[in-house]
């Protein structure tokens, strides 16, 4: 169990899965740069955040719902949580996370959603079996089942996140294609910093003339 | 990515700056004279009797736009800034390094290398481009002496020795600085550096550019999360922005001195644009100050190739880039501080 002071943002899971260094730059070094992608994402969330409550038949929708899990040590917000009324009359939570882009091969978005589900389970004492990701690019919902495999990955990811933040170290960069879409690229300098002992050589060169 | 944005300089006395929607409105006598979207700005500098509404100040703090207040003559008065950005761990590391004589000396060494290389280059360019107008013998002598100092600095030495070399280098450089003024020498001359107050027109220009440079370098450091007050080459002194002074060194000759020289040599400032106070202090008039500010801003838009990153960028972005590289070094990502050297 974590203490309230040690809770980390839910969104950091995704940063960690994208790139450990990016995660440390944002959450240890507190760097943030907006680019086209992040701005679009922010605007999209502003719309979702402005929501509120709504009820349509047997679905009740809550926007920008605050969440936390003391077990995983995470805190944040769910874009949308739908409550689906069961035949028994019980309302079951169903988290829906909005994403700007398109569905990804990797599990990044599913892990974040699963963490939200675990938060909901902790708060409401119910089992959350399913949720969905809504992608802005194709405007489609993709349903996500919270199976034991995804749950294990989510637990492992949040444990790694806590380790990384506690170490207060920023891992060295490794240049990869995905760096080109990262808004922190100019601060991270992956290509420049990959190779060690460059500065000493550079200074010698500058003095040579 | 960090963009090179504009700095809004307000020199109209009695101007009132206010937030209007997403813009900054400059009003004079109740009329809007200029309106700029906030996202095109990274700083606002107010000279003299210029006021800002508290809402604008809050708005600017939120959007990372620093507001500085200067006297009409460009002396720094105060600054409005949002919550300190960055990371306490980076700052603690910076303080530990500043307390460590060896680490401080290593950074000071890089800074001095940059200053000496760039000072030499300034002299070199003038000798190369105007051999007929310059006392090439004296200037070349100075270049040789700077080279000799550079060799001492190169082998790495104690902080105190390094500070000594820095002072010696500055003396040699400024001793021939007058040779770099190519025309109207009766009106524009340089008999050594005077600061408090500047006693001639050239010193007046230099001091003004150093103030502007300081404003830019300091906000670059703050954006990166470094503490501009705690330097490596410059010792701590209350009220002195030591690290900003450290980082300024490499830009003094390359940016400020060359700009002052080109304004004088190309006749872009007139001698009547300056006046001498009873105390001997030389001051600029409003029109000159405006012309000089425009020249400063324009120069920042010129594009250069960064010698370490091998990337093209506007000069205005160099301050941020250097602050970032220094932070990367303090964080342990880089094996040294790659000072900006003019190539």
- Point out the annotated binding site of B for Mn(2+): 166, 234, 249
Q: What is the pLDDT of residue A67?
A: 92
Contacts of B308 in chain A (CB under 8 A): 192, 198-199, 202
Quote the CA–CA distance of A107 and B140 in Å, as a whole number: 65
| A-chain residues near B83 (CB < 8 A) | none
Say if the Cβ atoms of B1 and A186 lie within 8 Å: yes
**Across chain B, how many H-helices and E-strands are there?**
11, 12
A136 to each of A43, A49, A97, A133, A140, how far by Cα in Å? 12, 15, 11, 10, 7
Give the minimum alpha-carbon distance from A187 to chain B in angstroms, rounded to a whole number: 7
Question: Using alpha carbons only, what angle is made at residue A172 by residues A165 and B155, rounded to the nearest 5 degrees?
Answer: 120
Question: B1, B62, B113: which to substitute to probe chain A, counting the most A Cβ within 10 Å?
Answer: B1
CB pairs below 8 Å between A and B: how many? 75
Instruction: Name the B residues in 25-84 with CB < 8 Å from any A CB.
Output: none
CA distances from B266 to B3, B17, B184, B301 (A): 30, 34, 10, 19
Q: Comparing A17-21, A185-189, B102-106, B151-155, which segment has the lowest mean pLDDT?
A: A185-189
ipTM: 0.72
Report pLDDT for A127: 93
Annotated binding site of B: 166, 234, 249
Answer yes or no: are the C-beta atoms of B71 and B48 closer than 8 Å: yes
Residue of A34, A166, A180, A186 to mutate, testing the B interface (most B Cβ within 10 Å of its Cβ): A186
> What SS3 state is found at A52?
coil
Where do the DSSP E strands lie in chain A?
8-9, 53-56, 59-69, 74-85, 91-99, 130-135, 140-145
pTM of the model: 0.73
For residues A202 and B200, what is the distance between their CA atoms, to the nearest angstrom?
38
CA atoms within a 13 Å half-sphere pointing along the CA-CB vector of A202: 23
What confidence score (pLDDT) does residue B85 get?
A: 58
Helices B258-265 + B286-301 axis angle, to 10? 120
Cα B295 to Cα B100: distance, rounded to the nearest angstrom: 40
Phi, psi of B306 (to 5 degrees): -70, 125
Length of chain A: 209
- The answer to whether B143 touches B124, Cβ cutoff 8 Å, is yes
> Nearest to residue B15, comparing CAs of B4, B2, B29?
B29
Of A31, A189, A203, the CB nearest to B336: A203
User: Does the CB of A38 have a partner CB in chain B at under 8 Å?
Assistant: no
**Is residue A1 helix, strand or coil?**
coil
Distance CA B152, CA B174 (A): 20
Residue A196: its chain B contacts at CB < 8 A? Answer: 335
In terms of DSSP H, where are the helices of A1-127? 12-18, 20-27, 36-49, 108-124
Residue B125 has what pLDDT?
92
CB contact under 8 A, B89 and A168: yes
- What is the spatial distance between Cα B86 and Cα B222, in angstroms, rounded to a whole number? 8
Tokens of B113: 């290398």
In chain B, which stretches have pLDDT less than 50?
A: 1
pLDDT of amino acid B1: 42
- Distance between CA atoms of residues A99 and A11, nearest Å: 12
Alpha-carbon distance A64 to B277, whole Å? Answer: 63
Token pair 């003004």 in the structure block, residue: B208
Cis peptide before B177 (omega within 30 of 0): no
- On chain B, the residues whose CB falls within 8 A of the CB of A33 are 1-2
Of B307, B328, B336, the CB nearest to A200: B336
pLDDT at residue B191, rounded to an integer: 81
Phi-psi region of A125 (alpha: psi -120 to 50; beta: other; left: phi over 0): left
Query: Does residue A159 surpass a pLDDT of 90?
Result: yes
CA–CA min distance A136, chain B (Å): 24
CB contact under 8 A, B225 and A199: no
Contact A29 B328 (CB under 8 A): no
Cβ B162 vs Cβ B112: under 8 Å: yes
Question: Which residue in the set A35, A192, A196 is minimally distant from B1, CB to CB?
Answer: A35
- Are B213 and B248 spatial neighbours (Cβ–Cβ below 8 Å)? yes
């Amino acid at each position: 169990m974590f203490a309230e002071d040690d809770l980390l943002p839910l969104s950091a899971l995704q940063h960690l899965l994208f790139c450990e260094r990016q995660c440390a730059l944002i959450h240890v070094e507190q760097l943030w740069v907006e680019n086209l992608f992040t701005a679009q994402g922010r605007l999209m969330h502003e719309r979702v955040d402005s929501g509120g409550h709504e009820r349509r038949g047997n679905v009740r929708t809550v926007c920008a719902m605050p969440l936390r899990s003391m077990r995983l040590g995470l805190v944040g917000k769910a874009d949308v949580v739908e409550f689906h009324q069961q035949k028994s009359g019980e309302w079951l939570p169903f988290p829906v996370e909005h994403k700007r882009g398109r569905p990804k091969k990797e599990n990044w978005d599913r892990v974040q959603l699963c963490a939200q589900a675990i938060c909901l389970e902790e708060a409401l004492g119910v089992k959350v079996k399913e949720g969905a990701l809504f992608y802005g690019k194709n405007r489609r919902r993709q349903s996500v089942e919270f199976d034991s495999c995804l749950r294990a990955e989510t637990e492992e990811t949040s444990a790694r996140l806590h380790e990384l933040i506690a170490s207060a170290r920023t891992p060295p960069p490794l240049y990869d294609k995905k760096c080109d879409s990262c808004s922190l690229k100019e601060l991270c300098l992956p290509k420049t910093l990959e190779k060690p002992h460059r500065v000493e050589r550079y200074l010698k060169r500058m003095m040579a003339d | 990515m960090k963009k090179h944005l504009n700095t809004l300089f307000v020199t109209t006395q009695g101007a009132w700056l206010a937030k209007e929607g997403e813009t900054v409105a400059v009003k004079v006598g109740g009329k809007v004279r200029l309106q700029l979207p906030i996202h095109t700005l990274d700083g606002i500098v107010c000279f003299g009797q210029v006021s800002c509404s508290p809402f604008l100040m809050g708005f600017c703090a939120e959007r990372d736009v620093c507001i500085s207040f200067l006297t009409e003559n460009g002396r720094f008065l105060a600054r409005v800034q949002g919550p300190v950005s960055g990371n306490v761990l980076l700052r603690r590391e910076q303080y530990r390094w500043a307390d460590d004589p060896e680490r401080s000396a290593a950074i000071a060494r890089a800074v001095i290398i940059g200053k000496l290389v760039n000072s030499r280059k300034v002299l070199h360019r003038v000798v190369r481009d105007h051999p007929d107008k310059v006392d090439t013998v004296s200037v070349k002598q100075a270049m040789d002496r700077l080279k000799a100092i550079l060799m001492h600095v190169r082998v790495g030495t104690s902080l105190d020795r390094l500070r000594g070399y820095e002072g010696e280098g500055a003396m040699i450089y400024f001793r021939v600085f007058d040779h770099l003024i190519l025309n109207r020498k009766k009106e524009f001359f340089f008999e050594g550096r005077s600061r408090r107050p500047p006693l001639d027109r050239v010193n007046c220009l230099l001091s003004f550019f150093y103030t502007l440079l300081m404003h830019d370098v300091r906000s670059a450091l703050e954006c990166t999360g470094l503490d501009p007050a705690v330097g490596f080459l410059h010792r701590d002194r209350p009220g002195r922005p030591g690290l900003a002074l450290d980082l300024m060194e490499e830009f003094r000759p390359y940016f400020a001195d060359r700009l002052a020289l080109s304004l004088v040599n190309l006749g872009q400032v007139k001698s009547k644009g300056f006046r001498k106070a009873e105390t001997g202090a030389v001051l600029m008039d409003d029109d000159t100050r405006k012309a000089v500010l425009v020249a400063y801003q324009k120069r920042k838009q010129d594009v250069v190739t960064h010698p370490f990153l091998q990337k093209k960028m506007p000069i205005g972005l160099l301050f941020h880039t250097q602050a970032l590289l220094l932070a990367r070094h303090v964080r342990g990502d880089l094996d040294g501080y790659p000072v900006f050297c003019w190539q």
